[in-house]
A and B are shown apart, each in its own frame.
Chain A
């Protein structure tokens, strides 16, 4: 793209800006339409009554009607909301379990021993598998006459467990699946973190007479802090908004024992088509996610060694 004649410095600058925005245009348009506008409009919808099944006698969809804080008052009185909030908060228990396990596995596969690559690859397979297939597999594993109960009853002589049918257990069963599927992903992130640590640090500690556990606890873990912060934020966000696992395995049941915010929002929006109320629920969830991320980052930033962050 060149203008005729001799370009003045001013016109070239303007031209450069124009070119830059031409390159950015498709991405910016898509982001504006499908990310920024939905957030803004979603916040507005949270203060409206908008039922997508309600039509005028002429068959035209009734537009959203502003109702102030009504949705939030309704939400406050809605027992399902509180159940869902409690379950989503409980779901955060997967975070420490996942992080500790993933870090341990990363250390395990960071050794220079034969076949270690094969193990890394194997552990990563569940990550690329769709949640639908994972849910189908685990549904069968968890069945009352499935392999897990067979192991429990026939081999260990224990009573059988209603993994997905007992309200006291179901949420934890689904959480186990999340841990199983996420382990490989976080292992890979920690592995990258471990390999980014200059070996001198650990060697120096070892020369000073520190054993492997002390080296790990006082040298490796502090140096992994940036990775830990990132993993913990990602893991918290995805745990708090968990949806697909629930949809595929329990549909929020039995008796709402696995009803989470993510599932409640989906049900409200795409089964009841109560979009205003669903938007209010989303807004509340968004606020919680924001707070959780902030707390995470604050916690990990304090005293953390951030030499390469």
Chain B
């Protein structure tokens, strides 16, 4: 059993280890493997990361981390807000058109993203948002996955709580803000992580709506770097490692919420 699991783990992390070693070593990694020199600590250096033309300098010049963090922060907040708002009436109220709203939302889950990209590109240009972060964020503001996840969480909140608050004179917005949101923090956390990973790794859409390299988020900037101006393995590998460290760290820290999200999406 362990033999199987360990070999699978080696296959899984192998490419990452190859990137990591390649980013740290001076010279060709495979040649060093053959000669056994890869065991020599003197062969290792942080030059590719911290050198004058290392990736840290390139990333700073392109503002890749700043751009990505900004997109993630605004994008995640907006997605949480919009999803949690929409989930409230779907969990707690009976109103005409509810079934239709549900059906409309469900229908979008089947659609491939490419189907909407062309027209959305048009819309973004028409709204004068081409080459702005609003263009990157707005199309994914309403996430149907997020709405359903939050609705599921709201349903588990005991109804007596909002009824009590209503008797005390609270309106729906107050109930949502003061009772629902604080009691569904785990679900909000789950949604936040999913949304964060999505924005952090987003590639095609920012590539399409952003023109200037200094606005690119990480994934787009890294691809641009690998393709256009830095083709040495050491540098690209260092850039890749640098860009995955935060996301893997977030995943390792918040695994529990993450896994809950995957399975919540599945059981429906």
Contact = CB atoms under 8 A, between A and B. Distances in A.
B236 A136 contact: yes
B85 A243 contact: no
B108 A31 contact: yes
A108 B112 contact: no
29 contacts: A1-B172, A23-B176, A24-B89, A24-B101, A30-B139, A31-B104, A34-B139, A34-B140, A34-B142, A38-B115, A38-B117, A42-B115, A45-B118, A45-B119, A108-B5, A122-B12, A128-B197, A129-B244, A130-B201, A136-B237, A136-B240, A138-B15, A150-B33, A196-B267, A243-B204, A282-B115, A283-B115, A285-B115, A290-B110
Contacts of A26: 81-82, 85-86, 141-142
Interface size bracket, B side: 35 or more
Given A27-B85, A285-B114, A125 B251 contact: yes
10 shortest A-B CB distances, which residue pairs? A38-B119, A27-B86, A130-B201, A20-B89, A192-B263, A30-B142, A38-B116, A137-B15, A20-B95, A34-B139
Contacts of B144: 31
Interface stretch (B16-24, B47-55, B156-164): B16-24
Nearest to B146: A27
Given A27-B85, A132-B203, A293-B110, A282 B118 contact: yes
Contacts, number: 242
B119 A41 contact: yes
B18 A124 contact: no
A86 interface: no
Interface stretch (A70-78, A140-148, A165-173, A204-212): A140-148
Given A19-B89, A26-B142, A133-B222, A180 B262 contact: no
A145 B176 CA distance: 59
B243 to A, nearest CB: 6
A42 B119 contact: yes
Contacts of B138: 30, 34
A269 interface: yes
Interface of B: 1, 4-5, 8-9, 11-13, 15-16, 18-19, 22, 30, 33-34, 81-83, 85-86, 88-90, 93-98, 101, 104-105, 108, 110-123, 138-142, 144, 147, 171-173, 176, 197, 200-201, 203-204, 208, 218-220, 222-223, 226, 233, 236-237, 240, 243-244, 247-248, 251-252, 255, 259, 262-263, 266-267
